[in-house]
Amino acid sequence: MNRKKSIKVAAVIDIGSNMLKMRISQLKKGEISDLEKLEYPLNLGHEVFTEGKIRFESLHELSGILHGYRGILKEYGVNQYKVVATTAFREAKNRSYVIDQLKIQNDMTVQVLEDDQEKTLIYSEILNTLDKMENKKGENALISYIGAGTIGFSLYNGKHMIFSQNIPMGALKLHDMLGNIQELTEDFYTVVEEYLNSIIGHIRIPFSKGLVSNLVLTGNEIQLIAHICGVMPENGCYTIPAQMLTDLFKQIRSMSQEKISNHYGISEDTAELLYSALAIYIRLIEFSESDVIIAPKVELWDALMRHMLLPKSSEEYFEHVRENAISCAYEIAKTYHCNHLHSENVRKFACRIFDKMKGAHGLDHRKRLLLELAAILHDCGYYVTAKQHLLSTFDLIKDIDVYGMTDEEMLLTAYVSRYNEYDVPNYDDIEFIRLSDKNRLIVSKLVAIFRLANALDKAQKQKLSDIRVKLNNDRLLITADSNENCYLEKWAFEQCAPFFQEVFGYKPVLTVRSSLI
């Protein structure tokens, strides 16, 4: 199939927990339009959530379908494509074997998206949709994506995300975990509601009264629910009265899967997911003051396709992640009573040093973001104890969900935050040795920069309002103006300088100028 060079074509293959999907799209005159969409039902989620592994029979089936998809890609002349997998692959104990076999058999590299990566890509598309809704601009919202195996929550204050959390409990996983109880009681819906409450009930919304103005939900079952409720989309978005969902749930919660299937003309597999998804949606309605649910028609592949066909959108996406990750981090720091002015000063100084050392550290803008997060969160351990605050800081940060950040990135951030003028990364530390060589090097570089920046505001009084950074031969020259007593800062700086020199080969030199005579 011949196509003009001016028309870019790309494809996304999404290996979900219960569906394998492929979408082929083209960019023509700045607009993305679809050429082909294909779907094939899978049983990966059931296998992984009950047995912990993907069966090799399923692997062979998946490989065969991907072989067919590859033929279609050739027909369309597609040479730019992504193959992504989500929860089922994330949680499969044998995922490495499966990915290896797919590479060998199909010559396709499968990228397993982390929970945060998947949700953030979807949320970015949701925010684009909300921005187009004039009546919802600037309003706060709880935004949630309910997948087969996970539920993602993010709080939007009208400008930025200020809270993000993922729970390993989706519609399919909920059914697989509790399904065997269904045969033991006619009051099964109460069991589901109690279990959901034991998990979701612990989430604390950082808004007054714990309620939000808008509830924005999306997930695999939302279109089916909208169809059953007789709601049609407008401008790519469903608006479903909350009472409709409540009434629908009351109607089906005492019905068997077979009865739900017959009543609504859907398969029994879909019926079991419909019940579980509705149970989750009903629980989330309690977080909102709104009597309607906003449900944008967005999917994971919308963002992935945009990034492939519109390269500038990848840069915009990173800036979106950075702004919202920092916003979330500041909200967390507020919870742990961190000194905002100190954190902001350390962040500013750390970024100045990082940017000036660009030619020496070889780290990208994503690592710069880890440095910023470490600066914002580095004192949160004091909330737990002053005695071992560095270890408490480490333990808190490594398990915190921050918008757009992976578990590995938060672990690296935790390491960067846990060193002060007395301590440096140590190869005798068993936890540190567990990191890969690559990550140990990244941590060491970021720690060297962070310790210097933190030392410059050691008293947490912002005696140095700004710094100038310059490289001169083998020295890193830092100059600042201050009329205050800066001997504590100079002492801390001297304590941190040797490790910086060991890592980068540059000797840090601090000069503080005073206008006092």
Domains and CATH numbers, the chain: 8-113 (3.30.420.40), 116-304 (3.30.420.150), 325-513 (1.10.3210.10)
- Classify the C-alpha dihedral 296-298-299-304 as positive or negative: negative
pLDDT at 189: 65
Q: Position of tokens 């009329």?
A: 483
**Residue 190: both structure tokens together:** 């109460």
Alpha-carbon distance of 331 to 326, in angstroms, equals 9
pLDDT at 267: 82
In this structure, the number of other CB atoms found within 10 A of the CB of residue 180 comes to: 8
Alpha-carbon distance of 400 to 413, in angstroms, equals 10
Alpha-carbon distance of 141 to 268, in angstroms, equals 33
**Residue 53: both structure tokens together:** 């592994």
β 19-28/161-167 pair status: unpaired
Alpha-carbon distance of 107 to 121, in angstroms, equals 26
Alpha-carbon distance of 480 to 352, in angstroms, equals 13
pLDDT at 366: 95
- According to DSSP, the residues that pair with 219 across neighbouring strands are 146
pLDDT at 1: 45
Alpha-carbon distance of 150 to 170, in angstroms, equals 4
**Residue 481: both structure tokens together:** 């103006």
Alpha-carbon distance of 125 to 298, in angstroms, equals 7
Taking the model in full, what pTM does it have?
A: 0.88
Q: Position of tokens 């709104």?
A: 290
C-alpha distances in Å from residue 306, one per residue of 30, 67, 125, 131, 231: 11, 25, 10, 17, 28
SS3 letters across 248-308: HHHHHCCCCHHHHHHHHCCCHHHHHHHHHHHHHHHHHHCCECCCEEEEECCCHHHHHHHHH
Per-position pLDDT tens, the chain of length 517: 444 455 789 999 999 988 899 999 999 888 899 999 999 998 898 899 889 999 999 999 999 999 999 999 999 999 899 999 998 999 999 999 999 999 999 999 999 999 889 999 999 999 888 877 765 556 788 898 888 778 888 999 888 999 998 888 777 777 777 666 655 555 666 777 777 777 777 777 776 666 788 899 988 888 888 888 888 988 888 999 999 998 988 888 778 778 888 888 888 778 877 888 888 888 888 888 888 999 998 889 999 999 999 988 989 999 999 999 999 999 999 999 999 999 999 999 999 999 999 989 999 999 999 999 999 999 998 898 888 888 899 999 998 999 999 999 999 999 999 887 788 887 777 778 888 999 999 999 999 999 999 999 999 999 998 999 999 999 999 999 999 999 999 999 999 999 999 999 999 999 999 876 5
pLDDT at 236: 81
Closest CA to 117 of 416, 408, 394, 439: 408
Question: Using a CB cutoff of 8 Å and minimum separation of 24, what contacts does 57-64 make?
Answer: 59/98, 59/101, 59/102, 62/15, 62/20, 62/102, 63/101, 63/102, 63/105, 63/106
Alpha-carbon distance of 89 to 15, in angstroms, equals 8
Alpha-carbon distance of 126 to 171, in angstroms, equals 20
- Taking the CA atoms of residue 238, residue 243, residue 246 and residue 252 in that order, the dihedral angle to the nearest 10 degrees is -80
**Residue 296: both structure tokens together:** 């944008």
Beta carbons of 215 and 239 less than 8 angstroms apart: no
Beta carbons of 210 and 204 less than 8 angstroms apart: yes
| CA 171 from centroid of its chain's CA atoms | 19
Please provide the DSSP assignment of 344-395 as one string: HHHHHHHHHHHHHTHHHH---HHHHHHHHHHHHHTTGGGGT-STTHHHHHHH
Buried b (16+ CB within 10 A) or exposed e, 415-448: bbbbbbbeebbeeeeeebeebeeeebbbbbbbbb
pLDDT at 250: 86
pLDDT at 331: 93
Alpha-carbon distance of 161 to 244, in angstroms, equals 28
Buried b (16+ CB within 10 A) or exposed e, 234-259: eeebbebebebbeebbeebbebebee
Q: Angle, to 10 degrees, between the axis of helix 44-51 and the axis of helix 171-178?
A: 50
Beta carbons of 64 and 50 less than 8 angstroms apart: no
Beta carbons of 139 and 214 less than 8 angstroms apart: yes
In this structure, the number of other CB atoms found within 10 A of the CB of residue 57 comes to: 10
pLDDT at 425: 83
Closest CA to 161 of 196, 197, 119, 202: 119
- Give the length of the chain: 517
**Residue 291: both structure tokens together:** 């009597």
User: How big is the chain by its Cα radius of gyration, in Å?
Assistant: 26
Residue 136 DSSP symbol: G
